Structure 1
Amino acid sequence: MINLRLSIMMFLQFFIWGGWFVTLGTYLANTLAASGGQIGMAFSTQSWGAIIAPFVVGLIADRFFNAERILGVLHIVGAILMYFMYQADNFVAFYPYVLGYMVVYMPTLALVNAVAFGQMQDPSKEFGKVRVWGTIGWIVAGLMISYVFSWDSAVAIADGQLRYTFLLCAVASLLLGVFSFSLPNTPPKAVGQKTGIRELLGLDALVLLKDKNFLVFFLSSVLICIPLAFYYQNANPFLTEIGVENATGKMTLGQVSEVLFMLALPIFLNRFGLKVTLLIGMAAWVLRYVLFAYGNADETLYMLIVGIALHGICYDFFFVSGQIYTDAKAGESAKSAAQGLITLATYGVGMLVGFAVAGMITDRYTTEASVHEWQQIWLFPAAFAAVVFLIFLFMFKSEKEKINA
């Protein structure tokens, strides 16, 4: 019964995120007439939320209040902000609400994990069965937008119907907020402990950067977030603009692939080793964007579908492998700090820079008639990812670090 409640929590948590974030770029460009730079600003609120999240969780949740209660309050506040996003009729009015929303949403990613881990005897065996419902929630949100409501059809987009994604997610956020108060009791675990800014941001793990291999991995992780930002920001607007039907629904193939390749990841790590697995992940970024650059909605639609399906390799083989590598490199006392540092560097700094670059490149290749030169836009992250691939290939030395996957 507890696992059922935790699974519902995960489903709603990621249903909310997948229900508006995927189509955000399309909505801003077509309904609010936002520029590439403005769209980049909107997406970068995720990074600001990731930077602020450790303070919310570390200074408040871990010390003073039950995790499930803070989760409930944050999602109720999020529902209100989401409703204001639904009502906003221009980018200037929209931006403060999306910034506020991401500041309250990003901490909930750690909170749902805390609630889940707090109820498990053996998280290594139990967590995956609960967490997979989050991915299912993201997939269901995309399928509903495309195949149930058809909010991402050309006619619906022109009519501004993507606005309803915010209303849908506001309702889901309110439901999760109320539901959170029925979740198992998860009291704070750091009562009485002194936790400073250094610990919250994982700065204690900076000593790992003295290891040349880890430094190369760390810098590569930050740099590869720039191509990653292009996908989050431009994939849905691109597919929609060139005429791919049910683009949001088709993009859920990325999450399906993520689940499948997560299962394959241990096999690759054990058979080919860490370096090869990480290189496969980076090479997939290059291939994905080349496919996007030369695919279209007609005879080469399969290229776009393959590009979407590569998401599992792109994400799992680099980011998840990287988390496993970081865990292996860090000592017992620095594991949490090391993961915090990597998260801050990638989803915080890396993605912040990435969204800014994606916005500039998109504006650079957008005509006065608001027509995008998509081939040029996609070739930039392809080339950038190729450079990161080569840097990692020649500078990261294979090592026999024990990897538990």
Structure 2
Amino acid sequence: MNIRLRLTIMNFLEFFVWGSWLISMGAYMFNVLHFSGIQVSSIYGTMGVASIFTPALFGIVADRWVNAERVLGLCHIIGALLLLWASKVTDYPTLYTIMLLNSFMFMPTLGLNNTVSYIVLETRGFNIVKDFPPIRVWGTIGFVAAMWMVDLCGFNLSPMQLYISAGAGLLLGVYAFTMPGCPPVKSVVKRSLASSLGLDAFVLFRKRKMMVFFLFAMLLGAALQITNTFGSAFLNDFNTKYPHAFGVTHSNIVISISQISETLFILAIPFFLKRFGIKLVMLMSIFAWVFRFGLFAVGDPGTGLWLLILSMIIYGMAFDFFNISGSLFVEKEADIKIRASAQGLFMLMTNGIGAYVGNYISGRVVDHFTVDGIKDWPAIWFSFAGYALLLGIIFPLVFKYKHVPADEKVVVAH
């Protein structure tokens, strides 16, 4: 089989596993298991906890001792078994523990999937910058396909979504073991444990500009998973007022517009970076989050469906302009010796600490605006919009960075 096709299948399955439950699990926990806001957000927060630890640790294993494709396969097989167990559990403490263990297994696979793809392409003489993006985009397609499958099968409020994810995970786990070998690279220079964990990148905090940037990366990272956690539950809460509305009966399909939007805004990033610079692009992202949450506050699956769809479209700018432009800024500012570590630090601040803190606080916000089981969703979403607005006002005042078009270099993130 053509190696690019094999990698396309691997990337498709990687994100199919995640998309099967990431968006709809919140509604299942709210409406079927009757968990509180803080309980739901804490389970989603397990991904943030895992992102702090296991990606770096499993990366060391793949760098030093075990083939990357084998680590990838083993993680998916164990993760799938944990999801099968989770599908049978209805109490919060046990489900939290299982999903935490699953996050420990799944979050490293996001990096390992890329690592395997890069090594396989490189050893066969392909241009990674040119040939990987068309392969990686099938990951987003896999995510959307999983959301649609769960939605059209009527599994949004069912543990069957975990069965689908587990099935794909087991398939990918076995499939990964059939991929070309990606053995550890024998290095003449031994890296310290601190270097392997990306801790040497903390030297960047000595620069005020970088310290401010990483602080805002963490604060904005707190917003990344909020709509993933509560979006489906929000739409399903309209099942009494709009029981037959498309946005209620097919909430996953409506939310999937967000992921489709991502693929379009990714293509626009090079133009915006060259024209406006990183500071303004990130500011656009922050205010896009304001509109993302604000449109959720005023929209509904009935006459306000167009507002929700507009929010889904804006998500592409909110998510990608921050993640990719931030990654490019780190790539440009970090010393070449610590670039990999600096990217790891950026991920730690956003998807690790930021996501964990965001899920913890957002759960408390939802519970605060919940009375007798009824959630005041406009107040909840306006609270999140106000938070993003505050970041948008402060960011340009404290982040000192001047865009010089002639000096800007658009680097392809991979």
TM-superposition CA deviations, 1:71-114 (whole Å, max 9, x none): 11111111110100111122222121111111011111111111
In 1, the alpha carbon distance for the partners of 2:66 and 2:292 equals 44
**Alpha-carbon distance, 1:190 to partner:** 5.2
Query: Which amino acid is the alignment partner of residue 357 of structure 1?
Result: I
TM-superposition CA deviations, 1:342-388 (whole Å, max 9, x none): 111111111110000011001101112x1110011111111111111
Match of 2:267 in 1: 263
- Aligned match of 2:146 in 141, 144, 149? 141
The 5 Å alignment of 1:206-217 reads 206-217=202-213
The 5 Å alignment of 1:2-401 reads 2-120=3-121, 121-147=126-152, 149-152=153-156, 157=157, 162-189=158-185, 194-243=190-239, 244-245=247-248, 246-368=250-372, 370-399=373-402, 400=404
CA contact (8 A) 1:63 1:192 kept: no
Query: Which amino acid is the alignment partner of residue 147 of structure 2?
Result: G
CA contact (8 A) 1:139 1:252 kept: yes
Q: How many residues align?
A: 395
Query: Which amino acid is the alignment partner of residue 165 of structure 1?
Result: Q
In 2, the alpha carbon distance for the partners of 1:58 and 1:11 equals 21
Q: Secondary structure at the match of 1:62?
A: helix
Q: Secondary structure at the match of 2:222?
A: helix
Q: Secondary structure at the match of 1:150?
A: coil
Query: Which amino acid is the alignment partner of residue 113 of structure 1?
Result: N
In 2, the alpha carbon distance for the partners of 1:366 and 1:283 equals 27
Give the RMSD, CA atoms, in angstroms.
Answer: 1.5
Query: Which amino acid is the alignment partner of residue 146 of structure 1?
Result: D
Q: 1:38 to 1:197 in 2, by over 3 A?
A: farther
Q: Which moved more, 1:225-234 or 1:26-35?
A: 225-234
Q: 1:278 to 1:55 in 2, by over 3 A?
A: closer
In 2, the alpha carbon distance for the partners of 1:190 and 1:354 equals 39
CA contact (8 A) 2:59 2:112 kept: no
CA contact (8 A) 1:59 1:195 kept: no
In 2, the alpha carbon distance for the partners of 1:194 and 1:377 equals 50
CA contact (8 A) 2:282 2:321 kept: yes
In 1, the alpha carbon distance for the partners of 2:177 and 2:76 equals 11
**Alpha-carbon distance, 1:258 to partner:** 0.3
Q: Secondary structure at the match of 1:209?
A: helix
Q: Which moved more, 1:255-264 or 1:88-97?
A: 88-97
The TM-score with structure 1 as length reference comes to 0.94
Listed as ranges, the gaps of 5+ residues in structure 2 are 240-246
CA contact (8 A) 2:59 2:108 kept: no
**Alpha-carbon distance, 1:210 to partner:** 2.5
Q: Which moved more, 1:121-130 or 1:330-339?
A: 121-130
**Alpha-carbon distance, 1:165 to partner:** 0.3
**Alpha-carbon distance, 1:193 to partner:** 5.3
TM-superposition CA deviations, 1:209-267 (whole Å, max 9, x none): 22222222211111112222321211111112124330111111111110000001101
The TM-score with structure 2 as length reference comes to 0.92
Query: Which amino acid is the alignment partner of residue 134 of structure 2?
Result: K
Identity of matched residues, %? 35
Q: 1:192 to 1:72 in 2, by over 3 A?
A: farther
Query: Which amino acid is the alignment partner of residue 291 of structure 2?
Result: L
